A and B are shown apart, each in its own frame.
Chain A
Amino acid sequence: QKEVEQNSGPLSVPEGAIASLNCTYSDRVSQSFFWYRQYSGKSPELIMSIYSNGDKEDGRFTAQLNKASQYVSLLIRDSQPSDSATYLCAVKPGGSYIPTFGRGTSLIVHP
């Protein structure tokens, strides 16, 4: 069973701070990594994808991938209350096109 692990939280940060969300995965040959945001009662929405080691930035979001250590993280700079949601990490294991999801981390940004 290929696993994707996330701390369920909640992670609570003040408005304007950096929120750091982490994810580890078990399949060493995974190639594709995704972060989804899910507001309460809504469907998951893709916010970042990353395929190679290093950092990828998009606005206030930065995804970081370290294949040697088998972790992927998401940094949210200048966190806003509207960022309060559950963040799902998804990994496509090696040899599979099917994404495996972590259970998600709940983020709360308080004013």
Chain B
Amino acid sequence: NAGVTQTPKFQVLKTGQSMTLQCAQDMNHNSMYWYRQDPGMGLRLIYYSASEGTTDKGEVPNGYNVSRLNKREFSLRLESAAPSQTSVYFCASSERSGGSTEAFFGQGTRLTVV
């Protein structure tokens, strides 16, 4: 049981390049999230998906797009990377309701934009 799997773990991009961060979960969760974590800023929500086929903006969506490909997979795309997007990115999943609604995190992607 892998939980939440993110790829890649590390990436260096040049300004203006594009890339997609992949995330998959095998816990049959309905909800999935993308966060970024910067020093002193905590975890900030970029986009989230309540269920397959729906996505919504979080606190810091500018410069990003997402796709909820199916119930398992939720990808994050940077169309034109900027140095301000240098960060650690975490994907997470959870149930929306019921007895156990805690979020489980992937291993993170450390992205540097130069």
**Could you list which residues of chain A lie within 8 angstroms of chain B, going by C-beta atoms?**
8, 32, 34, 42-46, 49, 88, 90, 92, 97-104
Q: Which residue of B lies closest to A43 (CB)?
A: B105
Interface residues of B in 44-67 (CB under 8 A from A): 45, 48, 50, 58
Given A98-B48, A103-B42: A43 touches B108 (CB 8 Å cut-off)? yes
Contact residues in A for B43 (Cβ distance below 8 Å): 44, 88, 101
CB distance from A10 to the nearest CB of B (A): 13
Contact A88 B42 (CB under 8 A): yes
Given A43-B108, A44-B90, A97-B101: A102 touches B42 (CB 8 Å cut-off)? yes
Interface residues of B in 75-108 (CB under 8 A from A): 90, 94, 96-97, 100-108
User: Once the chains are docked, how many angstroms separate the CA of A24 from the CA of B27?
Assistant: 30
User: Once the chains are docked, how many angstroms separate the CA of A47 from the CA of B35?
Assistant: 19
Q: Which residue of A lies closest to B90 (CB)?
A: A43
User: Once the chains are docked, how many angstroms separate the CA of A111 from the CA of B83?
Assistant: 40
21 contacts between A and B (CB under 8 A): A34-B102, A42-B108, A43-B105, A44-B105, A45-B105, A46-B102, A46-B103, A49-B100, A49-B102, A88-B42, A90-B103, A92-B101, A97-B31, A97-B94, A97-B101, A98-B31, A98-B45, A99-B102, A100-B45, A102-B42, A104-B42
CB distance from A61 to the nearest CB of B (A): 15
Q: Which residue of B lies closest to A92 (CB)?
A: B101
By Cβ-Cβ distance, the 6 closest A-B pairs, closest first, are A103-B42, A97-B96, A101-B43, A43-B105, A46-B102, A43-B108
CB distance from A44 to the nearest CB of B (A): 5
Contact residues in B for A32 (Cβ distance below 8 Å): 101-102
